[in-house]
Structure 1
Amino acid sequence: MSILKGYQNWRKYRRTADQLRSLPDNVLSDIGVDRYSIDEYARKASKY
Structure 2
Amino acid sequence: MNPIRIAKKWLAYRRTMNELGGLSNQSLNDIGLTRYDIRNVAARSYR
Q: TM-score, normalising length from structure 2? A: 0.90
RMSD: 0.9
Alignment of 1:19-38 (within 5 A): 19-38=19-38
Tell me, which stretches of 5 or more residues in structure 2 are unaligned? none
Count of equivalent residues? 47
Aligned structure 1 segments of 4 or more residues deviating by more than 3 angstroms? none
TM-score by length of 1: 0.89
Extract unaligned runs of 5+ from structure 1.
none
3-state DSSP of counterpart to 1:23: coil
Structure 2 Cα separation of the partners of residues 9 and 45 of structure 1: 7
Identity of aligned residues (%): 34
